[in-house]
Amino acid sequence: SNALPQTAFTGDAAADAQAVLAAIRAGHVYSTIDGLGGPAVMSFTATSGTATAAAGDVLPLAGPVTLRIAMQASEGARMEIVKDGGVLETRTGGEVEHVVEAAPATYRVEILLPAAPGEPPVPWMVSNPIYVGRGAIDAVPSDTRPRPSRFAMQYKDGPVAGWTVETSPASVGALDV
């Protein structure tokens, strides 16, 4: 499931559909795997100075960054704070406040349940990232934006046929092996 924690519904289908699309476009969404547990409820924000951002937002730097995560989960649920793709901190408990240095980074949260399948275990909830100290792509002049490079799609046993990496003019798709 996808949860839109900042979206309020009015009962007007057309207006609510627009609100859902706007929330997804803004990245104000987190994902859950309902088969692992429920109900799945999570809040993830970051504050620096007087500014606060939620998942999907850009947070300007104005001093140390306080990450706040709250979740409704069963006993033993583990919360991982992910910084720039690597696990920064692992904690248990329903609420976590973690202070990090004032430096550009991308943070997101994964919630794992003790009996989750897989190695590593499949995360139960995954937030969208908060982009700390990073500017919006629209603020970058178009002639200095990263350009896609040439690549060959690869899989464990060799080249992949029929796969593509989709991007928009404001994004870059890449595969690291």
pLDDT tens, position by position, 100-111: 999 999 999 999
Residue 162 pLDDT greater than 80, yes or no: no
State both tokens at 78: 């583990």
pLDDT tens, position by position, 30-84: 999 988 888 889 999 999 999 999 999 999 999 999 999 998 877 788 999 999 9
Residue 152 pLDDT greater than 80, yes or no: no
- Which span out of 35-39, 90-94, 99-103, 119-123 was modeled with the highest average pLDDT? 99-103
Which of 54, 60, 65, 3 minimizes the C-alpha distance to 26?
54
State both tokens at 120: 């590593």
Confidence of residue 94 (pLDDT cuts 50, 70, 90): confident
- Looking at residue 94, what DSSP letter applies? S
- pLDDT number for residue 171: 73
State both tokens at 98: 């973690």
Residue 168 pLDDT greater than 80, yes or no: no
Whether the full predicted model's pTM is greater than 0.85, yes or no, is no
**Mean of the per-residue pLDDT values for the chain?**
83
Asked if 67 contacts 106 with a C-beta cutoff of 8 angstroms, the reply is no
- pLDDT number for residue 174: 65
Beta-bridged to residue 73, according to DSSP, are none
